[in-house]
Each structure stands twice: as C-alpha cells, then as structure tokens.
Structure 1
Amino acid sequence: MDLARLSEPIATGRLGRALSRLVPATAVWDREWDVCCVLDGCRLDLMREAAAAGHETLPGPDGVDSLWSVGSQSAEWMDRTFAPAHRAEMDRTAYVTGNPFSSQSCEHILVTSDEVLPLSDADFGVFHEAWRDDWVDDDISTIPPESLTDAAVAIWRRREELGVDRVLVHYMQPHAPFRSQPEWFFGSADIEHWGQFTDGGDVEGDDADLDLEDLTPEEREALEAFAEADDDEGSTNDPWLRVRDGDLSVEAVWRAYRDNLEWVLDDVARLLENCDGRVAMTSDHGNALGEFGVWSHPPGTPVPAVRRVPWVVRDGVDRGTCDPALPDAISEGGDRDGAGGRASDERDGDDDVESRLEALGYR
C-alpha cells in the first residue's frame, strides 16, 4: 500500500480541513512587533538553513523561532489574519502587500469565509496593494522586494501623519517563480499569467509581434503540452508539483528556493537599517515536499511543513541609508476611503487578477 497516496487525500480532504482548525495557530497580532515582514511561502527549515549560513538579516539558527500559521495558503491566511475580530489592530496598521489575493473574493476556497476578502481601504489605517503598480515582467513575472521595502520605510517614517503605529509588509519571495531558474516558468511571463505563457493579446514590446507560425517544432510541442495540461493536477509552473512528478529534483528546487529567500532577506536588511523599532519576519505558509503525501501548499492543510512557519525578531535602527517617497497610490491627508490606495470601483474592475492567480496553480 502506498501510504503517501493514502495520506494525501486525508490531509487535504474533509478530515484534513477539520484537523487544520485544531492546529494551535497564532495570529501575527498576538505577537509584539512594529514592522512585520511576511515572506510568502517560507518553510521553517529553509529560514534556519539561511540563518546557519550566516545571513546578515538573521540571528543564528537557534534564534529562529516558530509559530503555527493561521492558514496553509495565502487567501486562507488573509481570511483569518484580517477577520472582523482583529479590526481594532488593523485600524492602526498599514498593510503593504505584493500578493494579488488581496483583491479576490475566494468563494471557491472552501476554508475561507465570505466576510474578509477582497480587502479594501477601509479595513486598514493604510492599505497599499503594491502589486498593482510595481509588477515586473522580465525573465520571470513577479513583484521584486525593493518596492515593498521602499513603501514600508516611507510609511513607517510618516506613521504619525498617516495615523498608524504598525506596518505589515507582505513580500512575495521566496514564493516561486525563482529568479535563478526563469526557464522553469514557461513563456513570456506577464502579470496576468504569473510565470506562464501569454497568447500575445495584451503583450507590449518585443513579444507583441509573436507569430505562432514562427515557432520551432519543439516550441510548438511544448506549447501544446502546456495548453493541454490538466488543471486538476496543478499548474505546470508549480515547482513542488514538478518535483512530485519527477520533472525536477528536490536539490535543484531547494537551491532555487533558497536563492529566492536570500533575495528578499537582502532587502529586509535594508529595511532593518531604515526603520527604528521591532522588526519581525514570518510567513503565511510553507511548502510541503511530500510530507504526509502533500505537495506545495493546498488550503486547509494541517501538515507541519506547511503550517509551522518561522518567527524572527530583530531590532531595526534607522541609519537613513535610503529615502524613499510615499507611493503615489497613498494619498496624503485624504478621507479614510481613499487613504490606502485606489477607489474600490477601480479595484473591482480588475478582472484579469483571476487569471494571474490561476496561473499560480490556485484554481
């Protein structure tokens, strides 16, 4: 009997969702911090490995504590972190996010409520969806950490003026796509299809004139295989599922995953030298590598590899090594409904966000 195949539907099915509710989870609001950096999809052992290697942002591995996350997937984490019970804390918090789930209703995710998502300006003291303006479509399609750090530093320095006393920053790294392996993420990667191929309908620049007739037989074969991929088996761009299927090795994916973590930690180091206060680092979820038959980070999963995440606290000292301006999307002194970003009707008109998340394997 294949125990992995037997345990996977248990861990991710109804029983798993029920057990997931019994995990002794800790909301970030229950910990002390001034600036909290959420590093999307970071496993506890990955963070401890980076600490053992001596990354300047981290203490030694013994200084990397842990907590049980409130969710095993980003939308689930948002749904529970920003639940109505936490409105008092949210009212004095600036939330800077690179994660497009902030704009989704997520009714299709069985473990989420209908009370939280999509998020709005009125939910926070300041709400800034950095992914809307700072997405980059280069070798990979993602939002690099720099713009999030800039926004967090600018807000923190003007917190009294903005009426907040905490900043929660949701970085997208070390979540895939991996900067060191762009070839794993097929095609011309744009914001509408995170790491995936686009048909060229809305593409600008060199890819705008792509003619499918110009593809080589090998490229056409790869494209056809991609288009015919079974969505029930997950996105072909999910590296964790590709390890499961034998397309990628654990060692190769782990190296790329570690490099993505170092990418964001290098920028958190910049935040630490430009913010006075208690700076925490944690994650919304980890990524399973076959533990209990689970791969990646399905919602409603109690597996420790996904739910037990890092918790690190460092003291930041503002040495003034950078001087970023407030993002244009954050109004100064406006009314509450406009304080954190765009008008709600503009957000509601962004129908393409669904396809961005579908490309991540969340649908």
Structure 2
Amino acid sequence: MLKQKNLIKKREWDYLFVLDACRFDYFQRTFDDYLDEGNLSKVISPATHTTIWCKKIFGGRRKNDDIVYVSGNPYINSKVPIGKLDARGYFYKLVDVWDSGWNEEKNTVFPQEVIKGVKKAMIKYPGKRIIAHFMQPHAPYLTLDNTTSGSKPEFNIDNQTDNNFFYFLRRKMRNFAAKVIRLIGQRKTWRLREELGIMEPSGPIYEVLNQHGEKELKRAYQKNLETVLEGISGLIENLSGKIIITSDHGELLGEGNNYGHYINGTENELFHVPWLEIKK
C-alpha cells in the first residue's frame, strides 16, 4: 500500500482536497454517486490527528512556496502555533476559512465556505497549487440538531507560551487516555472517566452515541460525507488540471468498541484513507 506522504510530495497535482476524518471504506462506496471519473486507491496516512499529519507531511526546512492552503480546520491557521505545529511557515499563504466562514449554529465550517475560499484563492494567487481542507465528514453532524456547546476557537496571540504549555499537558493526558482505550475500549474508558469525575467526555460523537446509538452515528457520518462530496463535485466542474481527493486520517465507528480518532491510535481504520486522482 502506498504512503500518502510520498504521493503528496511528488508534486504531481494542482488541487488537493482534504476531507477531515474520512474513512476509505465509506469513501469507496460513496464517491461515484457524486463524481463520474477518477482512479481510487487506498493509501496510508502518516498520522491519526490533523496537527501531526500536517507537520509530518509539510514540515521541514523548505517552505512550500507554491502552495496556498485554504483551511476550514482551526488547527491549521495563520494566527498562532497549535502546540508543536506552526503552519504559518509551511505555505505561501494560509487562508483562514475556519475563521471567516464559521457557522455558530453547527460549530463547524460548511463545505460551501471552503469552496468560496478556493475560488477566491484561484483568482488572488494564480499559478499556485491549492490545498482545500474541508471539515466533513468529521463531526459535528450537519443532519442532526446541534447539542454540543461551543463556539469558534479564539486564539490568544499574546500568550503563545501558555498555549504550548497547556497543549503539552493535554497531549500527555491524551497519550495516557489512548493507552487505556487500547486496553479496555473507548466506551468503557468514557464510563470510567464519568464515574471518577475526571476528564468528562463530551463532544458530538459521544452525544450522538448516548442519544441515538451507533446506527445513527454511522448514518450521520455518511450524510456528512455525502454533503462534502456533493459540494466538491460542483467545484470540480470548473477546474482544470490534476485533482486529488484524500483525507488527513480516518475515523473509528465502533471498531473495538472505539469511536472517533485519537493521537497514537493503531487501528487500520485510522490510517487507511482514500486517494482519488482526477485529471481534467
């Protein structure tokens, strides 16, 4: 199986569309309902979290001066580093669609906002390759009522040291939690955390599981995928060149009684992502 990093580094593409947390198997059985061409392969992502994925693929001494990154994901931003990731030095330009296009009701960025960012970038930065990072099929789920409290991330630009310190602590806690998850499964880990009253689990995946069950979670994930593919299909009609659709990492939807994704995950469903090549 080919490594995603090597394929991206070959520089044989004009547009790279990243679908956040997109599993290969769901993509495989869905994409041709929206895209009438393309060669699909299963590839291996280098990471199970966006920040680590971005750093492993695009970090290094040489800046990617030919790439404009249209980001619907707050982790990849032009404002501040997130932990050990400082994407500001990676690309010619970072376009913060996650900031300008944030939907307060759903607490995410809709595909159309990223598509608007791509169209503007094409005009403003002619001759540059474009990466567009879509938040879907990652939760929150667009077809469900939003029950998760939250808002657009606010970064404290004047306090980056504290941001890095707390990121370090959170990462240590996540690493420990990942070890427990591998031993007893995610649902049992959540129950244990609730009973102990520490690190109380929250978020759209946990809430959907509690309120609707695993079947509805899978359906909502599928609908998110369909929504982003529908948006991309319309965008591609107006593009020329080589287009790639892929993902930063996968998602667990019940495998080993685990859900979502986490740093240091080992499951194949977290690493196996789509690589669809389209030539226009």
Q: TM-score, normalised by structure 1?
A: 0.58
Residue pairs, 1:271-286, within 5 angstroms: 271-286=235-250
What secondary structure is seen at the aligned counterpart in 2 of 1:127? strand
What secondary structure is seen at the aligned counterpart in 1 of 2:4? coil
Q: Rg bigger for which structure?
A: 1
Residue pairs, 1:112-151, within 5 angstroms: 114=84, 117-120=85-88, 122-138=89-105, 140-151=106-117
Any idea what the Cα deviations from partners look like across 1:55-87, whole Å, max 9, x if unmatched? 222548xx43111112101111122122115x3
Give, in whole Å, the separation in 1 of the partners of 2:195 and 2:70: 36
1:98 paired to 2:72: yes
Of residues 149, 169, 173, the one that matches 2:136 is 173
Distance 1:46 1:293, change over 3 A: same
**Displacement after TM superposition at 1:241 (Å):** 7.8
Distance 1:178 1:230, change over 3 A: farther
Give, in whole Å, the separation in 1 of the partners of 2:112 and 2:254: 32
Report what 2:170 is aligned to.
none
**Displacement after TM superposition at 1:106 (Å):** 4.2
Aligned residue pairs total 237
The one-letter code sitting in structure 2 at the alignment partner of 1:26 is: Q
**Displacement after TM superposition at 1:293 (Å):** 5.3
Give, in whole Å, the separation in 2 of the partners of 1:41 and 1:58: 23
* Structure 2, gaps ≥5 residues long: 155-193
Of residues 84, 95, 105, the one that matches 2:60 is 84
1:186 paired to 2:186: no
1:265 paired to 2:226: no
Distance 1:310 1:154, change over 3 A: same
Report what 2:49 is aligned to.
73
Give, in whole Å, the separation in 2 of the partners of 1:253 and 1:125: 38
Report what 1:57 is aligned to.
35
Report what 2:4 is aligned to.
26
CA contact 2:23–2:269 (8 Å) conserved in 1 = yes
Give, in whole Å, the separation in 1 of the partners of 2:128 and 2:60: 19
Distance 1:283 1:300, change over 3 A: same
Of residues 28, 44, 47, the one that matches 2:24 is 44
* Structure 1, gaps ≥5 residues long: 1-22, 108-113, 194-226, 317-363
Report what 1:291 is aligned to.
255
Report what 1:155 is aligned to.
121
What secondary structure is seen at the aligned counterpart in 2 of 1:261? helix
Distance 1:91 1:159, change over 3 A: same
Give, in whole Å, the separation in 2 of the partners of 1:173 and 1:58: 21
- Over aligned residues, Cα RMSD in angstroms? 2.9
Give, in whole Å, the separation in 2 of the partners of 1:79 and 1:233: 29
CA contact 1:141–1:190 (8 Å) conserved in 2 = yes
Any idea what the Cα deviations from partners look like across 1:62-120, whole Å, max 9, x if unmatched? x43111112101111122122115x35x111011101111246444xxxxxx3xx2322
What secondary structure is seen at the aligned counterpart in 1 of 2:76? helix
Give the share of equivalent positions with the same residue, in percent.
Answer: 26
What secondary structure is seen at the aligned counterpart in 2 of 1:310? strand
Any idea what the Cα deviations from partners look like across 1:119-165, whole Å, max 9, x if unmatched? 22x43222111111111112x111111121122123234543xxx53
Give, in whole Å, the separation in 2 of the partners of 1:149 and 1:283: 16
Give, in whole Å, the separation in 2 of the partners of 1:248 and 1:242: 5
Distance 1:250 1:30, change over 3 A: farther
CA contact 1:47–1:64 (8 Å) conserved in 2 = no
